């Protein structure tokens, strides 16, 4: 059954987008308001046949249409303009299905507009390089340069915690490079992606260059992994799922932004007036459901008590509750189950001797921001990714001690270091094994223009339009031998 729009008159029965048409299937799942728990829409789960049709359509787009870079840039720029006009609608959906506070929803839309415009710019400046043949004996008469070409069909599999901007960090650079995209958003947050795809078509994107399929990873995700026509997988999510995708991809290329236990180190010379608000916001925005949220906070023992007191005082200003309330800064977690897990982890740590300094109270899916100290190293709060509004504080006596502990996790996505000492800053940059080392910033401070990616079990490859567009192209060497 085909639909003229992704939404029916009552906002329900949202389908897949295939060859520019919205189609439904016999199977569907509900989308819940993350604060009230009420069902706000039903979404059709794509069948194996529909996934195959989506990939086939994307392949035809690549073979039948060769859009000039400036044409692709125009589509992305127009999408940014349309996004600005639809700001209120996107914000409403982000708040309903994602639990975003009004502040977080507005920020998500603002960043998405930046990502689109950056990608539009990169579409017009994607070039190769001149090869210095004169460096090789006897080859000084040769000329050579590289060119970049679209890699093929890109499959984007995206998470619930950034259902607009992270999606665009996959789609926009892929399309800027000339690729067609098949998108599978999180089943928790499919509505934002649906509205985005509708907006891309409205901006003039050729229909087969964007396909959208909804469903669980076990079903629709498996259909996508089994399809040999997909050339590239761009994934943000857990390390466990990343391993499954990488194994299925084989020799096909991937970009993986995976799990994290993010740390921030506060040295004794830190300007706390600047640092405390940054640390609190980085710990608790989006209810701590950010891969770079501060989970481990290392503080020089000489200022540990002051940092605890000031962080508690600032955190007390961050109201948790209904994300539609303008005064609320901490909304719900993605499910009540996630909120229960958070409370269980806190209680387990307290039972092992940790001290809860504030927060940790649960009302359905909302958990008040928690600060805890004295957490044993083998507890879940310390050694597993929390993805919740909590931060564990640990004093340190030497900078080496803090660095060694931060490096001890299997992950390496982002770390923050606060210090006025340039020697300590450079030492941190050289010795902290993370994809990003932020000096005088918390671990969760990202500008969309920068290269973003991890090492170790946090994945590989880079987001950021200028970097992702190169990940999603093939480089070809051209030589002339006069």
The catalytic residues are 257, 291
Q: Which two tokens stand for residue 458?
A: 């946090």
Q: Are 406 and 455 in contact (CB under 8 A)?
A: no
Say which residues have a Cβ less than 8 Å from residue 72's Cβ, sequence separation at least 6. 120, 123, 175, 176, 178
Q: What are 368's two structure tokens? A: 């008040």
Q: For residues 60 and 284, what is the distance between their CA atoms, to the nearest angstrom?
A: 44
Supply the DSSP string of 200-234, one letter for each residue.
Answer: HHHTT--GGGEEE----IIIIIHHHHT-TTEEEEE
Tracing tokens 């590289």 back to the chain, one arrives at 146
Contact 62, 150 (CB under 8 A): yes
CB 109 within 8 A of CB 164: yes
End-to-end CA distance of the chain: 61
CA distance 263 to 285: 16
Alpha-carbon distances, residue 263 vs 302, 411, 418, 444 (angstroms): 19, 10, 11, 9
> Could you tell me if 196 and 170 are in contact, meaning their C-beta atoms sit under 8 angstroms apart?
no
DSSP 440: T
3-state secondary structure of 79: helix
DSSP 8-state secondary structure symbol assigned to residue 135: G
Q: Which residues, 6 or more positions from 260, have their beta carbon under 8 angstroms from its beta carbon?
A: 291, 292, 385, 411, 413, 414, 454, 458
What is the helix, strand, coil percentage profile of the chain, to 5? 40, 25, 35
45 DSSP assignment: P
Residue 383 is encoded by which pair of tokens? Answer: 């050694």
The one-character DSSP state at 140 is T
CA distances to 43, 177, 209, 214, 348 from 53, in Å: 18, 23, 13, 14, 48
Neighbours of 394 (CB within 10 A): 19
């Amino acid at each position: 059954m085909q639909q003229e729009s992704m939404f029916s008159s009552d906002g329900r029965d949202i389908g897949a987008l295939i060859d520019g048409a919205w189609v439904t299937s016999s199977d569907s799942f509900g989308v819940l308001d993350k604060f009230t728990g009420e069902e706000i829409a039903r979404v059709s789960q794509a069948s194996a046949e529909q996934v195959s049709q989506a990939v086939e359509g994307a392949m035809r787009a690549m073979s039948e249409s060769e859009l000039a870079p400036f044409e692709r840039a125009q589509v992305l720029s127009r999408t940014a303009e349309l996004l600005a006009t639809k700001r209120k609608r996107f914000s409403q959906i982000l708040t309903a299905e994602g639990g975003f506070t009004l502040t977080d929803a507005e920020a998500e839309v603002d960043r998405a507009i930046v990502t689109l415009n950056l990608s539009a710019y990169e579409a017009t400046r994607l070039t190769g390089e001149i090869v210095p043949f004169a460096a090789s004996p006897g080859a000084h008469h040769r000329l050579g340069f590289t060119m970049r070409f679209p890699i093929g069909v890109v499959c984007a599999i995206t998470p619930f915690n950034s259902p607009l901007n992270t999606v665009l960090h996959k789609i926009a650079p892929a399309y800027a490079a000339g690729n067609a995209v098949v998108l599978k958003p999180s089943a928790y947050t499919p509505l934002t992606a649906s509205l985005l795809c509708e907006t891309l078509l409205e901006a003039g994107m050729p229909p087969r260059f964007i396909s959208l399929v909804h469903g669980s990873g076990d079903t629709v995700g498996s259909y996508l992994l089994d399809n040999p026509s997909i050339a590239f997988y761009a994934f943000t999510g857990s390390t466990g799922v990343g391993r499954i995708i990488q194994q299925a991809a084989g020799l096909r290329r991937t970009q993986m932004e995976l799990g994290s236990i993010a740390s921030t180190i506060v040295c004794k010379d830190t300007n706390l007036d600047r640092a405390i608000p940054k640390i609190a916001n980085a710990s608790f925005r989006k209810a701590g459901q950010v891969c770079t949220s501060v989970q481990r906070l290392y503080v020089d023992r000489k200022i540990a008590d002051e940092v605890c007191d000031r962080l508690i005082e600032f955190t007390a200003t961050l109201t948790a509750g209904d994300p539609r309330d303008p005064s609320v800064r901490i909304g719900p977690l993605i499910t009540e189950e996630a909120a229960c897990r958070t409370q269980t982890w806190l209680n387990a740590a307290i039972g092992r001797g940790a001290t809860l300094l504030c927060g940790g109270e649960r009302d359905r899916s909302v958990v008040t921001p928690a600060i805890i100290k004295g957490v044993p190293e083998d507890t879940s709060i310390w050694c597993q990714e929390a993805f919740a509004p909590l931060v564990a504080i640990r004093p340190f006596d030497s900078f080496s001690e803090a660095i060694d502990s931060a490096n001890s996790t299997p992950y390496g996505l982002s770390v923050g270091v606060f210090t006025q000492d340039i020697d300590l800053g450079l030492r941190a940059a050289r010795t902290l094994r993370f994809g990003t080392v932020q000096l005088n910033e918390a671990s969760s401070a990202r500008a969309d223009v920068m290269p973003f990616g991890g090492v170790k079990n946090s994945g590989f490859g880079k987001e950021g339009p200028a970097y992702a567009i190169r990940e999603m192209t093939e480089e070809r060497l051209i030589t002339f031998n006069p």
